[in-house]
Chains A and B, each alone.
Chain A
Amino acid sequence: MTERNGSDPHESAIDPSVWRGMTQSRMSRRHLLASAGTGAGMLGMSAVLAACGVKGATSSGGPKPAGGVGTAAWWAKQKSTKTVNFANWPYYIDVVKGKHLSLERFTATTGITVNYTEPIGNNMPFYAKIRTSLSAKQSTGYDIIVMTNNSPAIGYLIQFGWLTPLDQSAMTNFNKNAGPLVKNPSWDPHNKYTMAWQSGWTAIGYNSAIIKNPGTSVDILFDKKYAGKVGMMNDPQELGSVGLLAIGVDPATSTESDWAKAAKKLNQQRSDGIVRAYYDQSYIDHLKNGDTVVTQAWSGDIFQADLNSKYRDLALLIPNEGGMFWTDNMCIPMYAQNPRDAMTLMDFYYQPDVEAVVEYYDDYICPVPAAKQALLSPTGWAAKALKELAPEIGLPTSKTAGAPTVFPTPAYVKNSRPYYLYKSQEELTAWNNLFLPITQGA
């Protein structure tokens, strides 16, 4: 299962990647956060202070939503306020000359004004910031937030009753158009609380000029042949999951004794000198610079790197053991001021032509398979919007539509693995205590 992201066969007169290189106005959002990640310690610090004045929810089971929030009767009473506050990650929505075409389309068709902000650079620090409001039963100021399912943050939000159950009757487009990977997902059965914004894989990136035959297994990360040239991620969830895949265990159904075995395997990998370093988002630079030849990688980063002719040798391998599949989920925090309009906006993005515009910019896994057709033969508003975006993107829409990492083939879908869902605080602590020390050896 080694595919080159569909970028190879395209040989036009002028290499599209050259245009893209010259107009490098967009970056992979995760890559962009390389420096933000290192600065996050500061954020953590300020969060401490903030947390100190607040008592937090102390009951073990967490508070239950008051006043039947999220029930059909409650939703029936929610009226449109013609405004919605949307908090997302940076560089994660179509933008041309400072305008978000898809949001403008939303306002034009519904009359709802969107306050779109990009305050989320990292799940846990953002969660630490909003939980002070939530535990005080106050609005966070956001009606929609976007949280990744492989971070404990979203589990906490659900567990403590800090998310508003969605209005299942207002998900027409979602029910019609959502893809199998994001419909009824393991982390949120029946989409009670969340709808996907974008997804991606954590798989393996390698330099195909040096590694001619990467095989089909996650074992390549443990191959002594590449000792000192293997990059691993320092995020305990990512590291632990690949360790579990390597010992032949499906992370989602793993047990604590599996975790210990995986940690042993990863410790061995480190003491054998195979690992070059445990990286944050900067892993992609080290792969590009040749410091590593094979590394844990996010699918979108490899897709974007491949667009530049200089890095055409970088390839993505979704191993047979599986690629870890993560999703950034839109959800409505408790005490949101404009839940009705939030629902309207979330469902709006499940129209194929709207999602086509977002995907042309984003290049992660599209939650709406039908957007592929909309990208190939757009009509009406979408055709105009795609045309307006084109100079900014510098690529034909067919390239995005043809990428298996954007519109996964059935084989890719089959190889997608969900992350482990922590059932308790103790489990999370046990996990972190096993995998975090591996990344910070002395």
Chain B
Amino acid sequence: MEQPVLADHAGGVTSRRPRARLTKVLAPYLLSLPAGLWLLALFLIPLVTMLSLSLQTCNLGTGACVMTWHWAEFGQQLSLYHGQFLNSFYYAGAAALIDLVISYPIAYWIAFYGGSKKNFFLLMLLVPFFVSFVIRTVVWNFILSDNGFILGSLKHAHLLPQGFHVLSTGYAVVAGLAYNYLPFTALPLYVAIERIDKTVLDAAYDLYATRRAAFARVILPLTVPGLFAAFLLTFIPALGDYVNQQVLGGTSNTMIGTVIQNAFQTLDYAAGSTLSAMLLGVALIGIFAYARVLGSRTIDEYL
């Protein structure tokens, strides 16, 4: 530790001090300026606008809005659509859990056995993303249609009753969400597993751990923050999803994203903003809970 101490070079430093200090003080701000402006223009302003709109009263026709501090809107929307909120939680939660179960082995395998082809396997995970989200979801409509390739064949073989269907059910919605958001789970999990120092496994084996014990007592605990991050990164976007339910769902499994979309389609911006603000609040609570349990730093390590 041979850090030069300022006092040792008093003369030289003193003469340059004012300028050096100014640059030093400004540097972090200047460096963060592009990102700061970006956040301000594309995140903060829209966010504040939305929150403010949620308390305004709008004329649907002209789009003219007046601030009325209409807090009652929150209660009204909640009483109308709490069921749809709950649906969103169930479906997004179920999809995130399914994704964790599916992607853990994938991420584990790539991290430990991917070898020199790791990047290729990761790319494979992302390949579906080259096709539009909506189109991929709509295609499931054809694959899973009542008389389609899969269900039609099974019905033909009398393995399924004639009235059986997958589309227009909550299961189809959860399956669609799990399918579409899988990479959001797999990639953070991969990062979490990949960063484990492989020598700790050797140490475990040296201490006579079985493979199973090494996994359960060494690998798994080390990936817990990654599991939480992966869950949140999947759960939160899935919570606001409005495509899967509309394409794959039926009459009694509407998610809140659909309600918000319909509000904007009918140009009822106040209602849409109120619902969005509530959804945002819920997502924030999730993130704070995470920060509380696992420390605030861990989540951004996986982003």
Contacts and interface: CB of A to CB of B under 8 A. Distances in A.
B86 to A, nearest CB: 7
8 contacts: A38-B247, A41-B242, A44-B267, A51-B65, A51-B269, A56-B59, A276-B250, A436-B262
A241 to B, nearest CB: 16
B60 A428 contact: yes
Contacts of A83: none
Interface stretch (A185-193, A247-255, A286-294): A286-294
A49 interface: yes
A125 B272 CA distance: 14
Interface in B39-60: 46, 49-50, 53, 59-60
Contacts of A290: 145-147
A277 B253 CA distance: 10
Given A55-B64, A280-B246, A437-B80, A47 B259 contact: no
A132 B64 CA distance: 10
Interface residues of B, number: 55
B289 to A, nearest CB: 25
A159 B84 contact: no
A138 to B, nearest CB: 15
Contacts of B272: 44, 48
Contacts of A34: 138
Given A34-B138, A442-B81, A56 B62 contact: yes
Contacts, number: 144
A48 B65 CA distance: 11
A314 B167 CA distance: 21
Interface of B: 46, 49-50, 53, 59-65, 80-81, 83-84, 86-87, 132, 134-135, 138, 141-142, 145-148, 163, 165, 167-168, 242-243, 246-247, 249-254, 257-262, 264-269, 272-273
A57 B266 contact: no
A412 to B, nearest CB: 31
A48 B53 contact: yes
A35 B266 contact: no
A35 B62 CA distance: 27
A88 B53 CA distance: 31
A35 B59 contact: no
A40 B261 CA distance: 8
Contacts of A278: 251
Contacts of A441: 83, 251-252, 254
A62 B49 CA distance: 25
Contacts of B264: 41, 44-45, 47-48
A34 B138 CA distance: 9
Contacts of B87: 442
B63 A440 contact: no
A275 B264 CA distance: 25
A282 interface: yes
A394 interface: no
Which 4 pairs, one residue from A and one from B, show the smallest C-beta to C-beta distance?
A442-B83, A44-B264, A56-B64, A41-B261
Nearest to A290: B147
A442 B61 contact: no
B291 to A, nearest CB: 28
Given A40-B265, A440-B258, A277 B63 contact: no
Contacts of B53: 48, 52
Contacts of B257: 41
A56 to B, nearest CB: 3
Contact of A277 (B60, B84, B249): B249
Q: Find the residue from B50, B142, B251 having the highest chain A CB count within 10 A.
A: B251
A35 B132 contact: yes
Contact of B273 (A38, A48, A127, A276): A48
Given A285-B141, A441-B83, 8 more contacts: A39-B134, A58-B59, A228-B165, A280-B246, A282-B141, A289-B148, A291-B145, A442-B254
B139 to A, nearest CB: 11
A291 B167 contact: yes
B265 A124 contact: yes
Given A56-B64, A442-B252, A289 B265 contact: no
A131 B60 CA distance: 11
A128 interface: yes
Nearest to A276: B168
B146 A291 contact: yes
Contact of A49 (B46, B61, B138, B168): B46
B64 A282 contact: no
Interface string A239-282: 00000000000000000000000000000001000011110101
Contacts of B132: 35
A442 B253 contact: yes
